[in-house]
């Protein structure tokens, strides 16, 4: 509701029609994103989206990079507000396989590009690199995209190197759904590929779904936990979860809990792209180094 | 039927036998579940053993919770049934569980401190409010069993709709509540069963004190008074106790539907006669029943068992039971012969057409013109950027809302006039739920989003329910309460089904949930044209059949003598109502209640003749739906609230009002 945003909208209203065709325009490409992952990448490429789904929940799921104030909320991802998108007059709309069911309606508003980071291939980080380059082209930030990916590669290498000096334990990565159920991240998820990249072992080797997680009861987690594992819990954790866990014998008697090898990470988008992968890599290095030394 | 009843009277009490059978079956499943870990259970643990911990702190407490919850709910149901002399009463059918659930959802969103203070207290306030509301609605003495339960289910429906709105608006944070809402017995430790056991034992102790007063009460109110008992007081305390029992369970494990209805019924059918034996055997049978159901779920679902909400499964099994019971319960009230007489309006023809068309047309225009900009400020269309595009986006939604409202209103008029039941409407008697089930089938099994396939499936579903209603009412005539109750049982079945599907985390169930709540969001030019064309065609054809409709209201005999082919005419009219419902459900979901409200608005305006009522209702329905859709689009901008839910929030209180007027008025 800031004054700035209002001015921005007014300014947008004044843009002539021909400017909405990227080919003729020199102005920045106006992109609406139905996906947090694309948005975080665009922000890193210095081409933040003009509209984003559920922008008011960003701080709860993504946190970093910070979202510019100018970004307009376009509603929830599966029922985005078409009127808001239309009045933003975007040059491009980004969807994912998840939100691509809206394509027929979106196509009437602007060209639609689908980014698929999560697909059958099960290599989200590799896909994220590919899609970052593509986003760079579409946002006229091709050079920035290449530079960003090179920097990311360097950072991954540095982190891997700094970790290789220690004996790194296997980790399990979970989000709490409620007091009794967790999402545990594994095969074909983003975190898994980051672990692979850094040479860390994931303790959860059981099947996961398309998105790379499995929803299981705590007892299932306990059943498949190697004794030396470390458990990483991602925020947000609902308020009622912590007191229940504190009482639960299953939880308390899990070796990982008894040895106090449990930690809570701030939110990291589990279905993100390279920026989330980097954020996760930094957090896990910080944690493991703190623990190993 | 009579012979059977006498026979059971003479039979000895076989409830113990039934209980033993259920319990043994459950115990066998329990053995199958625990046997692999038996050796680790009985020996002292030396090292950390996951299976032992799970058996000790997840499987066993879950079983204990199932036994306790089943007992509490069944005792609650049995107490309610005895106190209210109503075989259909139960925590589910009186709205107690739904009330407790909504209170917990509300508190967790707006006053988490209250929950931290006492979960039970919050649930109790909700449960008592719901029960109070039901009794306020149908406060007349000697109210028919069917009517009381009808009040309860309407309240359940309303609270359920409200809880769904909240869940949709906050979905990520309520993810846990959603699993919980369907009633999950999964446990982490002994705290819930241990907590339940002492609270329940106090309440069960109190229930024991009520056995004697209730036995006196069963002699009849006059006899009880002469023995010095106050029937009112006894009833009040019994109901309060029953609510307490149900609320405790809801606050610990969520809504476990229909156990409290099934167990007392089974106990009675098995031959439990005296108050004491009914209370004891209901409690035990209910306990064994939930134990059995839950063990079966655990056994069949394997490692996923903790995610399958037991409450959804019991509701799925229990709501058909309600339908069966309904067939056997005699309604105390005679079916009302005719609708109340309202002074007929004497407007001129042109005035009527103007009156009818003006509001929907004005609203149509207004809801296209007035909206909000990207930053949320109110503005008119022409002043907005990309106004032509926004116009293209808004118009199909507004038009399809109007067409759907119009269709539902017409279907409502047909159903109300043919059944002589002022509470009939596609939403209330379950035709909309039928259409929705058809849609669910299409989404899950045909995996098609072709408009034609969807309409076809929705129509088949609607026709199936319509046929079932006609079949069930073929002997009794269309008794108002019975018909409505059957419809609500269908809705409960649908809710349970969708709840169970959502808990599996299937993406398609998310689509269904949004569809259930009803939104014009998906309206496209083609779907809108189909809707508008069908609305116009059906309007014209209904108007052409007005003579049939009015003749049929006189009864089959007179209609025949007027030259109306009675059976064919009825079939055709019902078929048309089914088509209207199916088409409308596609765009506004099964819960809008427009089909209930619009015909009444027309009647209150004085349009009692079929032709006038159809026209005016169609216009009223269109207007209502346009308004609901507009609120849905801008009320929580830029997020969307499904318009079907908004009109349900208005429509259910309207249904409650009709219900209370039937009971207390005229």
pLDDT in tens, chain A (293 residues): 344 444 444 444 444 444 444 444 457 889 999 999 999 999 999 999 999 998 888 888 888 888 999 999 998 887 888 999 999 999 999 998 878 878 888 998 999 999 988 877 778 888 999 999 999 999 999 899 999 999 999 999 999 998 888 888 899 999 887 777 788 998 888 899 999 999 898 988 888 877 788 878 777 787 788 888 899 999 888 777 787 788 888 888 888 888 888 999 999 988 889 999 999 999 999 998 887 65
> Model pTM?
0.79
If you write DSSP's letter for every residue of B351-396 in order, what string do you get? HHHHHHHHHHHHHHHHHHHEEE-TTS-EEEGGGSTTHHHHHHHHHH
If you measure CA to CA, which chain A residue comes closest to B56?
A250
Select from B45, B48, B188 the residue whose CB has the most chain A CBs within 10 Å, as the one to mutate to test that interface: B188
Residue owning tokens 């209002």 = A6
Query: Would you say B440 and B587 are in contact if contact means Cβ atoms under 8 Å apart?
Result: no
In this structure, the answer to whether residues B87 and B231 fall within a common structural domain is yes
pLDDT of res. B405: 93
Residue B387, both tokens: 């106004």
In this structure, the answer to whether residues B314 and B378 fall within a common structural domain is no
In this structure, the answer to whether residues B182 and B57 fall within a common structural domain is yes
Kindly report, residue by residue over B531-575, the tens digit of the pLDDT. Answer: 999 999 999 999 999 888 888 888 778 888 888 888 888 888 888
Helix runs in A165-260, H state only: 190-198, 218-223, 241-247, 249-252, 255-258
Q: How many domains does chain B have?
A: 2
Query: Would you say B599 and B336 are in contact if contact means Cβ atoms under 8 Å apart?
Result: no
Residues of B with Cβ-Cβ distance to A88 under 8 angstroms: 374, 385
Cα A217 to Cα A180: distance, rounded to the nearest angstrom: 6
> Crossing angle, helix B60-84 and helix B259-270, to 10 degrees?
70
Q: Which CATH number do you get for residue B536? A: 1.10.3470.10
In 3D space, the residue among B628, B622, B648 whose CA is nearest the CA of residue B406 turns out to be B622
Question: Do A223 and B384 lie within an 8 Å CB cutoff?
Answer: no
Q: Is the ipTM of this complex over 0.90?
A: no
Residue A117, both tokens: 């980071």
In this structure, the answer to whether residues B394 and B523 fall within a common structural domain is yes
If you measure CA to CA, which chain A residue comes closest to B119?
A240
In 3D space, the residue among B261, B260, B281, B257 whose CA is nearest the CA of residue B270 turns out to be B281
In this structure, the answer to whether residues B385 and B324 fall within a common structural domain is no
Cα B81 to Cα B584: distance, rounded to the nearest angstrom: 38
In this structure, the answer to whether residues B297 and B425 fall within a common structural domain is no
Question: Do A219 and B189 lie within an 8 Å CB cutoff?
Answer: no
Residues of A with Cβ-Cβ distance to B53 under 8 angstroms: 219, 222, 249-250, 253
Residues of B with Cβ-Cβ distance to A60 under 8 angstroms: 172
Kindly report, residue by residue over B280-329, the tens digit of the pLDDT. Answer: 999 999 999 999 988 888 887 765 555 667 777 787 777 777 777 766 66
Please, what is the average pLDDT of chain B?
79
Q: Report the 10 Å Cβ neighbour count for B340.
A: 12
Question: Do B187 and A180 lie within an 8 Å CB cutoff?
Answer: yes
In this structure, the answer to whether residues B489 and B634 fall within a common structural domain is yes
Kindly report, residue by residue over A172-209, the tens digit of the pLDDT. Answer: 999 887 777 788 998 888 899 999 999 898 988 888 87
Greatest alpha-carbon span in chain A: 66
**A-B C-beta contacts closer than 8 Å:** 134
Per-residue H/E/C for B7-74: HHHHCCCCHHHHHHHHHHHHHHHHHHHHHHHHHHHHCCCCCCCHHHHHHHHHHHHHHHHHHHHHHHHH
Residue B437 lies in a domain: yes
Residue B339 lies in a domain: no
Indicate the fold that domain A153-292 takes in CATH.
Rossmann fold (3.40.50)
Query: Between B422 and A42, where is the model more confident?
Result: A42
In 3D space, the residue among A189, A219, A152 whose CA is nearest the CA of residue B62 turns out to be A219
Full residue range of the structural domain in which residue B152 is found = 13-40+48-328
- List C-alpha distances in Å: A171 to A273, B42, B512: 21, 33, 37
- Domain boundary (B328, B348, B379) is at B328
- Ranges in chain A annotated CATH 3.40.50.1980: 3-143, 153-292
Residue B359 lies in a domain: no
Residue A212, both tokens: 């790379």
Cα B67 to Cα B65: distance, rounded to the nearest angstrom: 5
Question: Do B54 and A223 lie within an 8 Å CB cutoff?
Answer: yes
pLDDT surpasses 60 at B330: no
- Where does A3-143 sit in CATH, by number? 3.40.50.1980
């Amino acid at each position: 509701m800031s004054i700035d945003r209002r001015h921005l909208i007014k300014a947008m209203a004044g843009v002539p029609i021909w400017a909405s065709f990227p080919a003729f325009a020199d102005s920045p490409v106006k992109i609406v994103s139905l996906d947090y992952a694309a948005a975080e990448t665009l922000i890193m490429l210095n081409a933040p989206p003009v509209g984003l789904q559920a922008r008011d929940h960003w701080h709860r799921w993504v946190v970093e990079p910070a979202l510019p104030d100018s970004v307009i909320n376009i509603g929830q991802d599966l029922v985005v507000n078409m009127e808001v998108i239309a009045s933003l007059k975007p040059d491009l709309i980004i969807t994912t396989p998840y939100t691509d069911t809206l394509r027929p309606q979106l196509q009437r508003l602007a060209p639609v590009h689908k980014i698929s980071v999560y697909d059958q291939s099960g290599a989200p980080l590799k896909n994220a690199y590919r899609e970052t380059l593509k986003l760079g082209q579409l946002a006229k930030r091709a050079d920035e995209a290449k530079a960003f990916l090179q920097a990311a590669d360097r950072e991954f290498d540095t982190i891997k190197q700094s970790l290789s000096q220690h004996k790194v334990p296997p980790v399990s990565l979970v989000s709490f759904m409620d007091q009794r159920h967790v999402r545990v991240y594994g095969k074909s998820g983003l975190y898994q590929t980051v672990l692979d990249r850094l040479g860390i072992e994931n303790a959860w080797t059981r099947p996961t779904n398309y998105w790379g997680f499995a929803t299981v009861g705590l007892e299932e987690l306990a059943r498949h936990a190697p004794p030396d594992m470390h458990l990483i819990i991602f925020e947000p954790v609902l308020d009622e979860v912590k007191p229940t866990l504190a009482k639960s014998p299953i939880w308390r008697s899990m070796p990982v809990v008894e040895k106090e090898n449990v930690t809570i990470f701030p939110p990291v988008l589990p279905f993100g792209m390279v920026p989330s992968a980097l954020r996760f890599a930094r957090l896990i290095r910080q944690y493991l180094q703190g623990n190993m030394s | 039927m009579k012979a059977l009843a006498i026979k059971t009277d003479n039979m000895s009490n076989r409830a113990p036998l039934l209980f033993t059978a259920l319990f043994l079956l459950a115990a066998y499943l329990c053995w199958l579940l625990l046997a692999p870990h038996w050796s680790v259970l009985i020996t002292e643990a030396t090292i950390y053993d996951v299976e032992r911990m799970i058996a000790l702190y997840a499987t066993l407490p879950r079983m204990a919770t199932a036994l306790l919850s089943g007992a509490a709910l069944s005792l609650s149901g049995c107490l309610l049934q005895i106190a209210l002399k109503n075989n259909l009463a139960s925590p589910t059918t009186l709205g107690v569980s739904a009330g407790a659930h909504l209170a917990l959802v509300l508190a967790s969103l707006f006053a988490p401190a209250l929950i931290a203070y006492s979960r039970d207290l919050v649930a109790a306030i909700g449960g008592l409010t719901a029960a109070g509301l039901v009794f306020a609605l149908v406060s007349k003495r000697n109210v028919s069993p069917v009517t009381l339960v009808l009040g309860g289910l309407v309240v359940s429906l309303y609270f359920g709709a409200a809880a769904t709105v909240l869940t949709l608006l906050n979905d990520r944070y309520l993810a846990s509540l959603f699993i919980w809402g369907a009633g999950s017995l999964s446990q982490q430790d002994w705290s819930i069963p241990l907590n339940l056991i002492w609270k329940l034992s106090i309440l069960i102790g109190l229930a024991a004190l009520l056995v004697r007063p209730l036995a006196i009460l069963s002699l009849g109110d006059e006899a009880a008074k002469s023995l010095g008992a106050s029937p009112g007081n006894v009833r009040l305390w019994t109901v309060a106790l029953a609510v307490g029992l149900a609320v405790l369970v809801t606050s610990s494990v969520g809504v476990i539907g229909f156990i409290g209805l099934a167990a007392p019924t089974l106990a009675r059918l098995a031959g439990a006669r005296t108050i004491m034996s009914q209370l004891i055997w209901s409690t035990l049978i209910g306990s064994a029943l939930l134990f059995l159901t839950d063990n079966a779920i655990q056994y069949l679902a394997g490692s996923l068992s903790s995610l399958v909400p037991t409450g959804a499964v019991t509701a799925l099994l229990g709501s058909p039971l309600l339908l069966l019971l309904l067939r056997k319960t005699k309604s105390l009230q005679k079916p009302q012969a005719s609708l109340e007489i309202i002074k007929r309006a004497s407007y001129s023809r042109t005035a009527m057409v103007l009156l009818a068309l003006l509001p929907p047309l004005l609203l149509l225009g207004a809801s296209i013109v007035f909206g909000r900009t990207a930053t949320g400020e109110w503005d008119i269309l022409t002043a907005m950027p990309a106004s032509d595009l926004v116009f293209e986006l808004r118009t199909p939604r507004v038009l399809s809302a109007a067409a759907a409202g119009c269709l539902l209103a017409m279907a409502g008029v047909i159903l109300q006039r043919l059944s002589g039941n002022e509470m009939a409407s596609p939403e209330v008697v379950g035709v909309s739920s039928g259409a929705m089930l058809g849609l669910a089938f299409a989404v899950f099994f045909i995996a098609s989003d072709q408009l034609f396939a969807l309409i076809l499936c929705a129509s088949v579903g609607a026709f199936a329910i319509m046929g079932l209603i006609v079949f069930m009412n073929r002997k009794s005539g269309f008794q108002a309460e019975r018909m409505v109750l059957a419809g609500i049982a269908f809705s409960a079945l649908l809710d349970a089904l969708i709840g169970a599907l959502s808990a599996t985390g299937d993406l398609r169930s998310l689509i269904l949930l949004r569809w259930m709540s009803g939104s014009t969001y998906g309206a496209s030019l083609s779907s809108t044209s189909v809707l508008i064309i069908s609305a116009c065609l059906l309007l014209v054809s209904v108007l052409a059949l007005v003579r049939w409709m009015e003749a049929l209201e006189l009864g089959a005999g007179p209609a025949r003598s007027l030259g109306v082919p009675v059976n064919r005419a009825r079939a055709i009219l019902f078929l048309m109502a089914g088509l209207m419902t199916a088409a409308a459900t596609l765009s506004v979901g099964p819960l809008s209640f427009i089909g209930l409200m619009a015909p009444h608005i027309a009647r209150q305006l004085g349009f009692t003749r079929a032709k006038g009522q159809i026209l005016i209702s169609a216009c009223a329905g269109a207007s209502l739906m346009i308004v609901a859709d507009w609120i849905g689009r801008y009320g929580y901008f830029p997020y969307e609230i499904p318009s079907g839910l908004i009109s349900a929030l208005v429509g259910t209180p309207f249904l409650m009002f009709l219900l209370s007027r039937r009971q207390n008025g005229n």
